Amino acid sequence: MKSNTKKILIITGIVIVLILIWYLFIRKPDVPVTVETEKPTRGYIATSVTATGKIEPVDTVSVGTQVSGTLSKLYVDFNSKVKKGQLIGELDKTLLQAVVDQNKGNLLNAQSQLILQKNNYER
């Protein structure tokens, strides 16, 4: 038992000596923090920002029509602000009017064909 106690005391003593050597000779002391101060003064402050890049819109809205055609009048420009219900442009009415006239002619032709067929049926 005495030999175990003796070994423990020797190992403890060696550890304590190593800690003391490290603390006194090897360890670097803490460097104090130095702070520079100045008296406040009044002066002019200017800030400028220079940037390059591409500007993107926050919201993008696609505008479409139910009828296609050629515009005869345009009331807004590119990137103009518009409100709901505002007239943006007018379509060229000549082609649309031609389609309406052709359909009216087809209707009159169908009505005359109906009258002809009724007369043939009644005969």
Q: How do residues 54-90 score in pLDDT, each as one tens digit?
A: 888 888 878 777 777 788 898 998 888 888 889 888 8
Say yes or no to pLDDT of 114 above 90. yes
18: containing domain: 1-28
Residue 37 lies in a domain: no
- State residue 1's pLDDT score: 56
Q: Which residues contact 67 (CB under 8 A, 6 or more apart)?
A: 91, 96
Return the H-helix or E-strand segment holding 11: helix 2-21
Q: Is residue 67 part of a domain?
A: no
Give a yes or no: residue 77 inside a domain: no
What the block records as the tokens of 96 is 């649309």
Give 69 or 12, the one with higher predicted confidence: 12
Task: With respect to residue 66, please indicate whether it lies within any of the assigned structural domains.
Answer: no
Rounded Cα–Cα distance for residues 79 and 56 (Å): 12
- Helix then strand then coil, in percent of the chain rounded to 5, is 45, 5, 50
60 in any annotated domain: no
Give the separation between CA 40 and CA 82, rounded to whole angstroms. 52
The count of domains in the chain is 2
12 inside domain: yes
Residue with tokens 């139910």: 66
Task: Please indicate, yes or no, if residue 59 is contained in any of the structural domains.
Answer: no
Question: Alpha-carbon distance 14 to 22, whole Å?
Answer: 12
**Is residue 104, in this structure, part of any structural domain at all?**
yes
